[in-house]
Chains A and B, each alone.
Chain A
Amino acid sequence: MIGSIIDWLTSSASWSGADGILARLLEHIGYTLLVLVIAAVIAIPLGLWIGHTGRGRWLVTAANALRAVPTLGLLFALTLVLLPVLPGDTAFLVPSVIVLVLLAIPAILSGTYAGVEAVDPAARDAARGIGMTGVQVLVKVELPIALPLLISGLRAAVLQVVATATVAAYVGLGGLGRFLIDGLATQDYASTAGGALLVAVLALALDAPFALLERLVVSPGLTGRTRPLRPSEPNRTAPAGGST
């Protein structure tokens, strides 16, 4: 069984063509990027606004409550509703993209909001105290400090989108999910498992740069490396009189 999966993954026939692995892989990445950009354009400004003003917190709660709705149900319901009203080829793409955007928004929104919310009030007050306007406080203080949590929200959204785009092959979306759904329908386990392996590898590969970015964007002022030692604070690392 493993042999046939390796055969499927390594044969040039399964990689080439419009329904080959390469084309499906690029489709999957394309959907993910498209959805991520749309969701980010909606959720990041909204999250910043909620975090900055403290207004509209119910939106974050509502978005999180959406997570209790099964993704499969949301996908099927929206496809069924939109399918008759959409023309031709878009009928398969648009409902899936809308559902994927809806699923990506809560993670990005709550990440952005939580990031701004977690800003030390003292830092915010200090920024206002030196005469920064509201927009300056947001862009120069709150956003940089919120960045790691914002990225972590984007990261969670990417995983959600890659996974759900796979399932959306059932309602006609392209991408790597085609190998799983079509393989299951035709009882071709080699392409089903091969497709599953590719999806898993893609998810890990897309996750890695975000994991790295999450560490890199931590504001230098918060890492502790640049913080000067306060003279009044006793040095804890030095053994006090060699007690042990």
Chain B
Amino acid sequence: MRTLFNYLIFPGFLFSACVGLIACWIDRKVTARIQWRVGPPWYQNFVDIVKLLGKETIVPAGAKITFLLSPVLGLLSTILVATILGVTVRLPLESFIGDLIVVLYLLIIPAISIIIGAFSSRNPLASIGASREMKLVLGYELPFILAITVIIIKSAGSIQIGSILNHQINFGSNLASFSGMLAFLVAIICMQAKLGFAPFDMSESEQEIMGGVFIEYSGLPLAIFKLTKAILLYTMPLLLIILFWAKNLTILASIGKYIAILVIIILIKNTNPRLRIDQAIRFFWGPVTSLAIIAIALALFGL
């Protein structure tokens, strides 16, 4: 019963969806202010979701069953991540050993569900979008995992999020060290790609392939994808805070740290044009991966 409550209400679906949608609103509002626009009211994203729920769901002819299943798959896994992270923050030693690995796996699933859904829609533009997304996943996963490895090395080889948290409470944030800072930088860049924001939004670039992976989605499945993205906007910064910046996790400090990371995301998003997919991969496998490897080397030397 408690697990179900954790999963569905707090800190799972309902809570993370609300926070995620508010974060989306902050994103839209700040973006609008940067661009000399007014921006939407705070409830705009909720209204958008409700409106999409009321719209007709159009399934393209010949689409496989995975077309409708993949959004659900993506949503379920992101909620699971939100739940694991949320419970860990409150009761660090409640969870099991190896939950960091599980979280990393679950975080790839939304991208994979987008790829599966796009391919099963049988639209050529969606296929192009999906192949871009696939290349992007291959690009950013390597440096992201390397950055997480830095954390594992720094917390004495622990792969349990709770003990990483406790380690930081006892010995200070990982961010305070040189290697931690480098790994944090790498993780922020990878997070930008995981969230699908500019300059890594080529999988759904509206000007080139008209929304790409989401081109055939409408109504409820589209709403689920939007919700997944919103929840990711809550969980990804939360994961980074827990892994890198967890010295002081009172409610006020957490909110402050979360907003700080959100502002970084929004600033990167608004000061960069979209990269080409080959440039993005070269970027991730070249400079970003080298940076991550340097961070690992520094961490091994105890810096």
A and B interact physically? no
Give chain B's interface residues, CB within 8 Å of chain A.
none
